[in-house]
Structure 1
Amino acid sequence: MTDTPPGPPESPEPGPQARLAESPAEVEDALLSRWPETRLEPSLDRIRAFTALLGDPQTAYPVIHLTGTNGKTSTSRMIDGLLRTLNLRTGRFTSPHVERMSERISVDGEPLSDEAFVRAFNDVAPFTHLVDAEQDHPLSFFETVLGMAFAAFADAPVDVAVVEVGMGGTWDATNVADGAVAVVLPIDVDHAQFLGDTPLAIASEKAGIIKPGATVVLARQQEAVATLLHERAADVDATVAREGLEFGVVSRVPAVGGQTVTLQGLRARYDEVFLPLYGAHQAQNAAMALAAVEAFTGTEPLDDELVRAAFAEATSPGRLEVIRRSPTVLLDAAHNPHGAAAVAGALDDSFAFAPLIGVLGVMSDKDHRGLLTELEPHLAHVICTQNTTDRALPARELAEVALEIFGQDRVTVVPDLATAIDQAAALAEAGEAFGDPLGSGGVLVTGSVVTVGEARAMLHRERT
């Protein structure tokens, strides 16, 4: 790494299509005017042209690159926390955001401030129209935000960037960066219309982030998926670290406010580490994060106390997050059956709600039947709702499937999300209606990151 990493070159005079901003709202408006994240054209030509104009900032620092179906953001945040305890300056790029767009770009563990977010946009905006003019398709929302992140990290400058793919791997815009460490979390079916409808097909796309000479941290996978990933690693002479062999979760015990875990890392074993997150999936994410940081830092074990300190501060907004008490309201961004199964497991070992009322709002392109099926044994009642985006599945369409799975008496339709949460809280408090006179009920809001983000914003406003 050079002492003075390159930043964006001097900006040209903005052309008529360049939109500079004076506020975060103007940045968001400019970004949202571009191709949305759901409109894809499999090519790295645009992002390569964009980063070249910016001085290839993604080459100014080493990168830890993450892919997988679920768990990327939680694992990214844990990696970030561990690196910062080692006195390394970090950049972190994750998606999608929960509440604010600026959450996608973090430096030193904190999202960009409003001022920094505007500055990051204006630093790259004069170059966006140059790319648009030269390419067959314009830069997308995702590509533009990613360019902002890469440039902001170089400008900081950071010692290491933790970068989560947006979707897939090979053709994901983040793949213009070459990860010194590639982290592959469990692979299942999601985004089937873009990536394929089997785990193996999806794995072939995600394997693209494994670069020559990298270290690959692999989660447990289905056998055929594991074989494909190992073959990719062998093809590019990458070193492989496998969950369950070189590293993994030795034990975990649910605890007040989270769980206590013992982790076997690549260099040492770390006993009885408190993790303030719920569920076996978060323990697995912690093991993945630990192995990734050990692989990045070299051959020596990490300091035991630093590992404890980092994991004790771990947070993951919108991932089984307790956002309110009396009754308890949980938020979880699970949006596919694999994610819902992880939530169900965490509910079983960490919570004892009676009843638990679900508030579900999903996107129209997701497997909502599979998600409902995974959650049905854990929910006394489900309220079908919707978020405010155009991609939201209408609440009544969701309810048609929910009725087949839950039955007539366990489904309510409330299209307005705020009203749905209020009604769910009332049902949770009326425990005697479900055979529990103590009324120790809870509410789970889930089905989409957007639904959770909107709910989180509403419930935060209530508390202020």
Structure 2
Amino acid sequence: MIEQLVTQAIHSVYASYGRVSKQIERGYDRDVRHPEWTRWLLNQLGNPDANQFNVAVTGSKGKGSHAILMAAILQRLGLRVGLFTSPHLVDFLERLRVDGQMIAGEQFVSYAKLVEDEVNRAPLPNGQYFGPVGLLAVMASLYFRDMQTDVNVFELGRGARHDDVNQIRHRGALLTPVFPEHLDKLGPTWLDVADEKFGVITPDVKWLISYTQASFVEERLLALGAAGADVAQGLSIASLGRDFDVSVAEESDGGGKVATVTTTWRGKILRAKIPDSLFPFVGNVAVALVGAAHVMRDLTGTVQDVDVELTGLRLAGRLQVIQDKPTCLLDGTIHKENAKFIAKWLQAREKTGKIGAILSLPDGKDAPGVLEELGSYCDWLLFTHCTNKHMRYTRDFQQLGLQYVNQVDVEPDVHKAIAMALDKSRAEDVLIFAGTQSYVGDVLRAFETPTESIWIP
């Protein structure tokens, strides 16, 4: 019964958006989106964000991992932490969490009904709509208020300046690497994209922690900081590689590997112990540590050392071993740079059996780059699609794969592809599942991998 109610609640979140014609939806976000309706809704519901300590995360790459890492660090520091991320991988309710645990179905239904009733009373002009992610962010703010969280981390969508989630009042912000992406929505130039992301700096923001950026993005960001009260009163900006660095010390731990990530801020040592699955994210960890130090400073009035253990943290679908015998590794790899981390993971293992890769790389993703990094490690390749009907697969994967291995198969049905891979594998083999986030969700569902918590039980 509750599953049916949750499904109906999810449909209600998309109802306003679904009534807008696709013609009106087309265009740059600055021309067609109206995030002010999210602010209107928050106001109607008593401004639940007004007295909350919120941190917003924006950028082009790694928003989800930065948000999860910061929430995890703050939780390990003894705080009660709300976390809002999007999209989900397996369960829609993954988007709203407190202390890493996703919201219960009954609670989700209750908040969805509260928001829906207010939306139905809105004086919405013809052709405008409430953005679904904005409605979810409002629900999250209500949920976090009622759960009496100490701090909340909100992952924004593709932009910031015209993003619904950015309407949530936030005191701090994290900026992940900014790339020339979504040019049809945020562009037309890379600078336009950067300026959209910089919209996360609202008048409420007192500090922003940035990952290393391209030089002109960094220059533009620092110019905004220099603007002072023109952007945000007393704004401070700290960037990885300019204001703080990161060091990593690896060690063995009961047969596995862990690493201690260390950085400093204002003379204080910030440290986190991470599992090997998080090794590709050491820069993200450093940014999250400095962000967490800012939160603790704001809450306590003093700058403190930070020393946390994150070995029990799980970033779903990011270098995640989802099964043993055969060893099945899952990663949201869609380009060459991500594939390098899988290659490093393979290098660290003693090869006892065969290695097969089951890849889902639709048009627009860097299939040649992924194969360039992984092809030499693989004994066979299997290309598949995902259940997301919006993805297109028009490459000749047979020809592409034969440049690296002699055994290449193509099976469009993702469920059949997974079954084929398992049927042909032995206990000592390794299977690499890599592709889009939609594909990652398909694989997690197929293996019935739990995603209710960000922590390993």
Give the direction of change, closer, same or farther, for the CA distance of 1:198–1:367 in structure 2 (3 Å limit): farther
RMSD: 3.2
Is the 2:39–2:168 contact (alpha carbons within 8 Å) kept by the matching residues of 1?
Answer: no
Whether 1:247 aligns to 2:247 is no
C-alpha distance in structure 2 between counterparts of 1:184 and 1:342, whole Å:
23
Q: What amino acid maps onto 2:444 in structure 1?
A: R
Q: What amino acid maps onto 1:332 in structure 2?
A: D
- 1:94-139 superposed Cα distances (whole Å, 9 cap, x missing partner): 0110111110011232110111111121121101223374463222
C-alpha distance in structure 2 between counterparts of 1:336 and 1:70, whole Å:
12
C-alpha distance in structure 1 between counterparts of 2:398 and 2:240, whole Å:
36
Cα drift, residue 22 of structure 1: 6.7
The residue number in structure 2 matching 1:343 is 341
- Structure 1 unpaired stretches of 5+: 1-19, 430-438
Q: What amino acid maps onto 1:383 in structure 2?
A: L
Is the 2:270–2:290 contact (alpha carbons within 8 Å) kept by the matching residues of 1?
Answer: no
- 1:407-426 superposed Cα distances (whole Å, 9 cap, x missing partner): 38453211111221232335
The residue number in structure 2 matching 1:183 is 174
2:143 to 131, 152, 156: 152
- 1:414-446 superposed Cα distances (whole Å, 9 cap, x missing partner): 1111221232335554xxxxxxxxx85322222
Whether 1:392 aligns to 2:384 is no
- 1:218-275 superposed Cα distances (whole Å, 9 cap, x missing partner): 111221221122222222352111212433321242755553123113142256x431
Whether 1:25 aligns to 2:7 is yes
C-alpha distance in structure 2 between counterparts of 1:85 and 1:356, whole Å:
37
1:443 to 418, 431, 448: 431
Q: TM-score, normalised by structure 1?
A: 0.81
The residue number in structure 2 matching 1:224 is 216
Q: What amino acid maps onto 2:269 in structure 1?
A: R
C-alpha distance in structure 2 between counterparts of 1:285 and 1:131, whole Å:
40
The residue number in structure 2 matching 1:436 is none
| Matched ranges for 1:46-445 at <5 A | 46-131=37-122, 133-134=124-125, 136-196=127-187, 199-212=190-203, 213-235=205-227, 236=231, 237-253=234-250, 255=252, 257-267=256-266, 268-270=268-270, 273-278=272-277, 280-298=279-297, 300-302=302-304, 304=306, 307-309=307-309, 311-336=310-335, 338=337, 340-341=338-339, 343-344=341-342, 346-347=344-345, 350-351=348-349, 355-362=354-361, 366=365, 368=367, 375-377=374-376, 379-394=378-393, 397-398=394-395, 400=396, 403-404=399-400, 406-407=402-403, 409-427=406-424, 429=426, 440-445=428-433
Give the direction of change, closer, same or farther, for the CA distance of 1:446–1:198 in structure 2 (3 Å limit): farther
- 1:66-101 superposed Cα distances (whole Å, 9 cap, x missing partner): 112222222212211222233322211001101111
Counting matched residue pairs gives: 426
Between stretches 65-74 and 190-199, larger displacement belongs to 190-199
Q: TM-score, normalised by structure 2?
A: 0.82
Give the direction of change, closer, same or farther, for the CA distance of 1:461–1:104 in structure 2 (3 Å limit): closer
Identical columns (%): 24
Give the direction of change, closer, same or farther, for the CA distance of 1:32–1:252 in structure 2 (3 Å limit): farther
C-alpha distance in structure 2 between counterparts of 1:66 and 1:166, whole Å:
9
- Structure 2 unpaired stretches of 5+: 451-457
